[in-house]
Amino acid sequence: MLSLFKKTPSAATDPAPVAAPAPDLRQAVQSIAQAASRLGRDAAEVRGLIEDSNQVNQRQVQALQTLGSQLGEVQRAQGGIGTTTTESLKAVERARAAVEQVGTEVGGIVDTLRQVAAAAGQITQIALQTRLVAFNASVEAGRAGEAGRGFGVVADAVKDLSAKVEASSKQIMSTVAELDQRVGALAREIQLREGEAPQGAFHRALAEVQGGVGSISAAAVQSRTICDGLNEQMAAIDREMQRSSQTLGSATARSEAFLKVSENMIEVVADCGIDTDDTPYIRGVQEAASQISKLLEDALRTNTIAIADLFDENYQAVPGTNPAQHTTRFVALADRLFPQVQERLLTLNQKVVYCIAVDRNGYVATHNRQYCNPQRSNDPVWNTANSRYRRIFNDRTGLASARNTRPFLLQTYRRDMGGGNFVLMKEAAAPITVNGRHWGGVRLAFQF
């Protein structure tokens, strides 16, 4: 692009100096730069909104899938309820049959008790008659005098024994009568006559249990029917949301291309040799990258660090950090060397937000001092905004800046500050090379 503003030198003469752009051309280029900047800002905003919508949609898809899984658990539980209620109804029938069998046995017991009562009555009559005979024998023995004395003793003993037998028989009859009443009541309670409604409390209780279990079974069937309908509706919603995700993914790709066009326009304008609003940031980040490259090369030359340690990618997670922080074997060197360059770039002007050196994977060993605060426990929102060192920023913008090997890269993006807060800004990046090997880049972010 720079050649567009130079005079073509002849073969016989030295190259002519670059002609200064005409005022109207300079103004036109600056206007294009401003328009490209606004375009990039709008593109980044649109892309961010699409990303937000896509994330919401993804969360809804996940929630729907979770709900579908839970609905499946409900359906399986309902199937278990149906099986259990069926078995419960069978158990009630078995209980009723068993009780009816007991009722039949109790009826037999009643008949036996009545036979015992009849036998006891007969014994009482016999005892009464025996006592009368013994009494008569005792009278006759008295009349016989001395000869009947022994017979009288026997007669008295028989009389006493018959009295005891009579008393015992009457006690048996009384007890049997009471048992007869109780067992009869029990028999009436548990026996169920064919064609009659259940009268006893036990059978009424069984009928209530049977009715309740039947209601549960009917409710489970109705619930399964409803769940089947919900499952179909959720499947339809899931298909629609999947299509929405695909549409949003396509929109994101298109917005990415849209944003890339605006960034390319900004870079072309910045590379044409005419100063624009972005020029100071481009020069500043290139100088910072050159300084850090030299600092790292000096560290290798003086054996302050080994090259394997400087290019260490074995990131070690710091336990208990949220967002996750990591350490590498070059963090101590970065803490000592990088701030002198990074902090100076913050004074470039009031629009500068941060200046950081990152390795080729987007890892920030040390950030600007205001963002190097120790994390707070259980406060990821505050940590996201205020504890940004020892972090890996491998998003689109972060990786593009970290892996850029061109002289400079200009991007427009939304910076995530945590808690759903974003800041729209631009970023200039320049590569850091160490002895000809790409180490990472310097990222200089600034406001519009």
**Which residue, of 274, 300, 334, is where some domain finishes?**
274
What pLDDT, on the 0 to 100 scale, is given for residue 236?
A: 75
**Which residue, of 274, 297, 315, is where some domain finishes?**
274
Instruction: Say how far apart CA 154 and CA 138 lie, in whole Å.
Output: 8
Number of domains, the chain: 2
The answer to whether position 29 is within a domain reads: no
The reply to whether 255 and 289 lie within a common domain is no
Range of the domain at 120: 34-274
The reply to whether 308 and 255 lie within a common domain is no
Mean per-residue pLDDT for 341-350?
95
Q: Calculate helix-pair angle for 23-144, 149-190, nearest 10 degrees.
A: 160
pLDDT (tens digit, 9 = 90+) per residue, 143-154? 777 766 666 677
pLDDT band for position 7 (cuts 50, 70, 90): very low
Entry pTM:
0.55
pLDDT (tens digit, 9 = 90+) per residue, 252-286? 666 666 566 666 766 777 666 677 788 899 999 99
Q: Per-residue DSSP letters for 227-279?
A: HHHHHHHHHHHHHHHHHHHHHHHHHHHHHHHHHHHHHHHHHHHHTTT---TTH
Instruction: Say how far apart CA 404 and CA 429 lie, in whole Å.
Output: 8
What pLDDT, on the 0 to 100 scale, is given for residue 280?
A: 92
Backbone angles phi and psi of 422, in degrees to 5: -130, 150
**Which residue, of 274, 309, 344, is where some domain finishes?**
274
The reply to whether 228 and 329 lie within a common domain is no
pLDDT band for position 423 (cuts 50, 70, 90): confident
